[in-house]
Structure 1
């Protein structure tokens, strides 16, 4: 069994959906035992290690928290790990303890061309809690390869390099009115009607779009929930609607326009930033490493999902995303990752570290 597979199995077996400290302990102890790097654990639970030196720094980035498992993915307090048909099954195998293990082995084995940094963040599934804490404390590598999924985008089984991804802005619009008896609607101000007027504004907004290194990204903005009223015979004095916006680098829908409707307020609840790689040479260097590591023909692609690469890009790091997970695997009851792709990702990360 390869070191990458053995380490993936170990990490995947450790529950980390409610409390990721045990998984962080495993990452930290392995780095201290297997490398001579300077390793530290910050107050947010992030594990960060550094080795080598140079005028630039390259980070291999992942996270060790996961979403809650399905019932069949847990047995006797640990996550179930199984190998079938060349794939490793278990919560977090794809998102993203497999790529995390590959990055750890590459961090240990590479002969880096510059300062090499490893970071495993906590709280990625809670909106990038760990990444934001690390950035606030000065985490600022020049370049980063974030090990979220990029396999199977251009063709089945091919590990591509994502140079951009969408972000997500979740927000709420609240319409307020004045209640009255439904038999006398003119005596009140119907908050549902005001909310509907605001929803019409949302429907009329143009979806943002842009191009990053030849990759086209088109965002979206859509109302996903609506709630209002207190009874069948009462004019409602409050109605709220949830808006899901998929953002693209440099562009936002003008959602503030909903406040032109009388009585409507708009509040942003979550804003996960999009990512754009701003260095074509770095993006090409990672793609070269991906070509060397596999028989397929990897390409630059764009991802639809937000990752910690967005926080890094917003803070000034130049990131790309490259990892083993395929579309549709993360957060599922049957989550799995191809074992040969794990080994491939270790080669890609090592190749980038030794050449970028």
Structure 2
């Protein structure tokens, strides 16, 4: 964690990870940019993926914040950027590689860059395009923070811009114009009245949400605005495709100009895979749904059922007080060691 690795600046950490993995002498190691893939080659009947991203969001700027590099450690709790999201999980990956030399399943360890930024930059996406053969597996585990509970699949996400147009005029003669911000009121009303669904998918209940997340318009304090843009985000259950999610939002906001700006499919829970049942048993907790989008969706898209499982409270991710209990890391390591031992 003392190696700063804000998105786009993962090289030093990738170098350290690569060096540690090559030093074990028993893994096939491949480097692609600032992503590192290491594989056991034991001829096991099953191969599983343990994946985690190396990058973090930028360091906090709040004076006196504990979320800094170097980290703060009191013997029980580790404070610092990436403690939860997700260097605690990466530490577990590295520990498994070092301490479980003869796992019951072949393992592909994936450490990748640029998860916290635009999807087009994703190191996992780049690996899927350029080294797809390295990613073949029967089951995947993404070590995102889940408080040590298996979280199946993830919701999808789609974003829109809803634009209203008016006519600019001096605010002292407002009757000469048309207020575009006022025209956006019905959009906000429909969103405020919308009741999001809870959808059961393969036994897990996924809560959806549909919200205005940003609004902007107007040019000056004495000008009637001639344009207003409302940015909207829909988090949809993995029973829907992005196309179905888009159709749903367009129906709700019919009559308004909508432009889809971004979308990512969700992932079904992944608990139907043969490896999933034994893994859940090793963890010993009832699985939960993942409401946020994670890279299990990328694995699912490749035909690899996958779940989220890692140390730390996801609510602390990106916070200036980001921290993780040492015991939480040890418990995740123990569960994976039981399963793989």
1:245 equivalent in alignment to 2:234: yes
SS in 2 for 1:275: coil
Equivalents in 2 of 1:265, 1:332: separation in Å? 32
* Compared CA separation, residues 74 and 325, structure 1 to 2 (3 A): closer
Where does residue 266 of structure 2 map in the other structure? 274
Aligned residues of 1:202 and 1:255 also touching (Cα < 8 A): no
1:224-261 deviations in whole A, cap 9, x for unaligned? 22222234554422100111222221233622236632
Q: Work out which of the residue numbers 93, 109, 114 in structure 2 matches 1:118.
A: 109
Where does residue 5 of structure 1 map in the other structure? none
Equivalents in 2 of 1:132, 1:204: separation in Å? 37
* Compared CA separation, residues 190 and 352, structure 1 to 2 (3 A): same
Unaligned runs of 5+ in 2: none
Equivalents in 2 of 1:35, 1:341: separation in Å? 29
- TM-score normalised by L of structure 1: 0.81
- TM-score normalised by L of structure 2: 0.84
Equivalents in 2 of 1:302, 1:309: separation in Å? 12
Matches within 5 A, 1:104-253: 104-108=94-98, 109-128=100-119, 129-137=122-130, 138=132, 139-151=135-147, 159-180=148-169, 188-251=177-240, 252=245
Aligned residues of 1:60 and 1:349 also touching (Cα < 8 A): no
Equivalents in 2 of 1:301, 1:187: separation in Å? 56
1:65-119 deviations in whole A, cap 9, x for unaligned? 11122355689xx812232252222221221112211112213424233331000
SS in 1 for 2:232: strand
Q: Work out which of the residue numbers 12, 32, 38 in structure 2 matches 1:42.
A: 32
Shift of 1:40: 1.1
Question: Structure 1 residues 113-122 or 233-242, which shifts more?
Answer: 233-242
Shift of 1:148: 0.9
- For the aligned residues, what is the CA RMSD? 2.7
Equivalents in 2 of 1:117, 1:349: separation in Å? 14
1:138-193 deviations in whole A, cap 9, x for unaligned? 23433111111121xxxxxxx22111333433332222233345576676554224
Aligned residues of 1:140 and 1:316 also touching (Cα < 8 A): no
SS in 1 for 2:153: strand
SS in 2 for 1:199: helix
SS in 2 for 1:278: coil
Question: Structure 1 residues 90-99 or 173-182, which shifts more?
Answer: 173-182
Equivalents in 2 of 1:302, 1:114: separation in Å? 25
Unaligned runs of 5+ in 1: 1-11, 152-158, 292-297
